[in-house]
Structure 1
Amino acid sequence: MKLPALFWAFFRVGIFGFGGGPSMIPLVHAEVVKRHEWLTDEEFADILAIGNTLPGPIATKMPGYIGYRVGGIAGCIIAVLAVCGPMIVAMIAMLGVFSRYRDVAWINGMSQAVIPVVMVMMGQLTWDFMEKSKASLGWLVAIAIALVAGGLIYWLGVHPGIIIGAILVAALVAPKRTPKAQTKRESA
């Protein structure tokens, strides 16, 4: 019975995901981590990181993988169709309305008003990830990684996928550190 739940979860994401793929990420997180508990926060962060390194829109990569993980091939197809269906219908309808009424001031203002809402949603997701980074790496390392990544992306023009890939390789190569509190408990 997970397939109907999978459909409705991603249908809600498709309906309310104004602003494209990045604005859908907090909605996907709310559905798959908080509401249905199909993934943990760490698994979601891993899927998001890997999804950002691959070509194509994140709005279809994440539902495809999560759908496959929850319901196999049928789950993958259902999740992608559920998230894309509302977007296709809404895009056709909205383009028709915008082309007819594009010069009306309140229509133009309405489309601009969505931008701050998406910004707040992305800020909240960023804060949540910083909290998780702090818990696993500590504030100094988390902030250092964020600053270096931001500098490479914004000032040097390095593609985010390259940075994420480099961090994944570094995590695979570097030995796993055990937190001090856990080491003390295990030795006692």
Structure 2
Amino acid sequence: MHQTQIFLSFFRIGMLGYGGGPASIPLVHKEVVEKNQWLTDDDFSDILAMANTLPGPINTKMAGYIGYRVAGYRGMLNALLASTLPTIVLMIVLLTTLASFKDQPWVQGMTKAVLPVVGVMLAVLTWDFFKNAKKGMGWIAAAILIIVSFLTIELLGIHPGIVIGVLLAAAILKKDKPKPTVEQGGDAS
């Protein structure tokens, strides 16, 4: 019934959604709310909010759920295939092409040039995390937590997932002590 429409809609989104999730969200809205009218604006907003809370690429999460909602499990699989197929094909073509030129100096230079860029991107992301941690817990506590985490991961060889899990459990189990209230009873001055 809707299988061809589902496939074409999410294939278009996959082909045109360059720039990641934020770039594809307006395309998903255009296809599923405006063009095909599978969802209302409120439904779309709810799905977008739910998809943002889950890990993974937002386009595939939304495709899977919307496909399921429109046409059941077949619709879900169809939408997931359509949204990931362009990336799979382009990656195979790109990697195959680059592999055939891997000994060329320009490809080796390009590969070497990517490493510092990725390093800078990770450093910027780390700095942003540190600034956000500072807002929530202060510079000293954030610095101590970073140092202890680094030492635990690097020197003790503990997997980062275990460190994150322990920290999340500690945050959940931590009980906030109620702040004492000032009793007003007379002249405060």
Q: Give the TM interval when normalised to the shorter protein.
A: 0.5 to 0.7
Does 2:5 correspond to 1:11?
A: no
User: 1:62, CA displacement in angstroms?
Assistant: 1.8
Query: Using the alignment, how far apart are the partners of 2:67 and 2:134 within structure 1?
Result: 34
State the identity as a percent.
32
Q: How do 1:46-65 and structure 2 match up within 5 A? A: 61-63=55-57
- Which one has a larger percent helix, Structure 1 or Structure 2? 1
Q: Deviations over 1:69-108 (max 9, x none)?
A: x6881279668964x4454223211232133222211111
Deviations 1:40-75 (A, max 9, x none): xxxx7x86xxxxxxxxxxxxx4225x865x688127
**RMSD between aligned alpha carbons?**
4.1
Structure 2 CA distance for aligned equivalents of residues 109 and 117 of structure 1: 13
- Matched residue SS, 1:175: coil
Distance 1:167 1:134, change over 3 A: same
TM-score, length-scaled by structure 1: 0.57
Higher CA-based Rg: 2
Counterparts of 2:171 and 2:136, CA distance in 1: 13
Alignment partners' CA distance in 2, 1:80 and 1:175: 45
Query: Where in structure 1 are there 5+ consecutive unaligned residues?
Result: 15-27, 48-60
1:163 aligned partner: 163
CA distance in structure 1 between the partners assigned to 2:165 and 2:57 by the alignment: 21
Distance 1:63 1:177 in 2: 38
Classify the secondary structure of the residue corresponding to 1:176: coil
Task: Provide closer, same or farther for how the CA distance between residues 113 and 87 of structure 1 changes in structure 2, counting only shifts above 3 A.
Answer: farther
Q: Could you tell me which residue of structure 2 aligns to residue 91 of structure 1? A: 91
Residue 65 of structure 2 corresponds to residue 73 of structure 1: yes
TM-score by structure 2 length?
A: 0.56
